[in-house]
């Protein structure tokens, strides 16, 4: 069996990928937490152009004196202690939707939450744009994320799923090229979810509505854009947890070292 060849000139993660990865991680955490502060100002989501307290919300966080709840359509789930009715670090009961440990700042301030959100939104947007351009230019996307025709075969995808169910298989990965599930996740996050956060965010802006009316229409109205912004944010949270779990399973020290210092790139056996 031929030996794997290490290409010393190219690290596993390029410098631009590593810089962007960590800046982006900081941005996503601050954007999520300041975004939850903004959500707390009106913890109700609607479809269409308009939506306010008198209108039907498909999702809402609410509270009574004794309990908090999360409502999806007609389904009401009690969330006392976490959403809608929780104790702050002084032991006082608070009725904001998301608790202080999940928001920036930790006490409710819509104005401050917006400041954090828009500042980091700029770094996030410019960073994502530069990373995508650079990764097309240096062929990171074409070399590492391009999905070959044979990878699209249902049997190939099924094999990859089965392979993920065995932890020992996940442990072995991390030095070869990405598998189909990794590629789909990364492509989906970089080219779909992250850009949709920027555009659904802009679609909520009254000035952008005048500048680019089509943008709000694409999302089905301002309140739909707000709902999709929220849903996409939580898909990113889901990605974050799976991503962290995979790093922990596959060798956290090696993976973290590689994402900080570059790591080694191995060519699969010829």
Partner 1 sequence: MTIITRRKLITSAAIGAGGLLSGCDALNRSSTFQDVLASAETANFAVQRALGDRMALASEYTLADRSPNFRANGTRDPGTADYASSAAQGFADWQLRLTGLFKKPQQFSMAALLSMPQRTQITRHDCVEGWSAIGQWTGVPLKILLDLAQLQGSAQFLVFHCADRLGGRPYYESIDLLDGFHPQTILAHRLNGESLPIENGAPLRLRVERQLGYKHAKYVTGIEAVASLAGIGEGKGGYWQDVANYEWYAGI
| Distance (Å, whole) CA 31 – CA 86 | 22
Site string for partner 1, 105-144 (x = CB under 8 A): xxx-xxxx-xxx-xx-xx----------------------
Q: Which of these segments, 14-22, 43-51, 154-162, 262-270, binds partner 1 (CB under 8 A)? A: 43-51
Site string for partner 1, 78-107 (x = CB under 8 A): -----------------------x--xxxx
218: its two tokens: 């694409």
| Distance (Å, whole) CA 176 – CA 265 | 7
248 is a contact residue toward partner 1 (CB under 8 A)? yes
* C-beta of 56 vs 152, nearer to partner 1: 56
First to last CA, the chain: 9
Angle between helix 110-137 and 194-202 (nearest 10):
130
Instruction: Report, in angstroms and rounded to the nearest whole number, the Rg of the chain calculated over CA atoms.
Output: 22
50 is a contact residue toward partner 1 (CB under 8 A)? yes
173 is a contact residue toward partner 1 (CB under 8 A)? no
Site string for partner 1, 208-237 (x = CB under 8 A): xxxxxx--x-----xx--x-----------
Residues in the interface with partner 1 (CB under 8 A) total 49
* C-beta of 109 vs 163, nearer to partner 1: 109
* Contact positions with partner 1 (CB under 8 A) in 151-170: none
Q: How far is the CB of 86 from partner 1 (least distance, A)?
A: 15
Q: Which H helix or E strand runs over 260? A: helix 252-261
Q: Which residues contact 185 (CB under 8 A, 6 or more apart)?
A: 239, 242, 243
* C-beta of 115 vs 264, nearer to partner 1: 115
Q: How far is the CB of 263 from partner 1 (least distance, A)?
A: 17
Picking from 69, 50, 4, 66, the residue whose alpha carbon sits closest to that of residue 220 is 50
3-state secondary structure 168-206: HHHHHCCCCCCCHHHHHHHHHHHHHHHHHHHHHHHCCCH
Backbone angles phi, psi at 206, to 5 degrees: -65, -30
Backbone angles phi, psi at 136, to 5 degrees: -80, -40
Q: How far is the CB of 108 from partner 1 (least distance, A)?
A: 11
Q: Which of these segments, 39-47, 67-75, 76-84, 146-154, binds partner 1 (CB under 8 A)? A: 39-47
Site string for partner 1, 184-213 (x = CB under 8 A): ------------------x-xxxxxxxxxx
> What would you measure as the largest C-alpha separation in the chain, in angstroms?
69
**Residues at the interface with partner 1 (CB under 8 A):** 29-30, 33, 38-39, 41-42, 44, 49-55, 101, 104-107, 109-112, 114-116, 118-119, 121-122, 202, 204-213, 216, 222-223, 226, 248, 252-253
């Amino acid at each position: 069996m031929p030996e794997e060849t290490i290409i010393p000139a190219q690290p596993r993660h390029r410098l631009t990928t590593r810089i962007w990865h960590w800046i982006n991680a900081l941005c996503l955490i601050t954007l999520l937490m300041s975004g939850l502060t903004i959500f707390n100002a009106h913890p109700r989501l609607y479809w269409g152009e308009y939506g306010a307290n008198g209108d039907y919300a498909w999702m809402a966080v609410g509270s009574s004196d004794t309990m908090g709840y999360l409502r999806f359509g007609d389904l009401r789930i009690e969330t006392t202690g976490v959403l809608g009715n929780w104790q702050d670090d002084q032991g006082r009961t608070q009725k904001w939707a998301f608790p202080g440990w999940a928001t920036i700042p930790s006490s409710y301030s819509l104005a401050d939450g917006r400041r954090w959100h828009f500042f980091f939104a700029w770094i996030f947007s410019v960073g994502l744009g530069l990373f995508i351009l650079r990764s097309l230019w240096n062929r990171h996307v074409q070399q590492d994320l391009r999905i070959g025709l044979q990878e699209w075969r249902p049997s190939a995808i099924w094999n990859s799923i089965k392979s993920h169910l065995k932890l020992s298989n996940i442990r072995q990965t991390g030095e070869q090229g990405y598998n189909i599930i990794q590629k789909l996740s990364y492509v989906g996050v970089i080219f779909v979810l992250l850009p949709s956060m920027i555009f659904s965010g802009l679609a909520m802006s009254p000035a952008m509505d005048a500048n680019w009316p089509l943008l709000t229409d694409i999302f089905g109205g301002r309140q739909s854009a707000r709902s999709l912004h929220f849903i996409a944010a939580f898909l990113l949270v889901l990605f974050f947890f799976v991503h962290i779990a995979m790093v922990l399973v596959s060798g956290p020290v090696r993976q973290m070292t590689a994402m900080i210092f570059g790591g080694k790139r191995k060519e699969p056996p010829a």
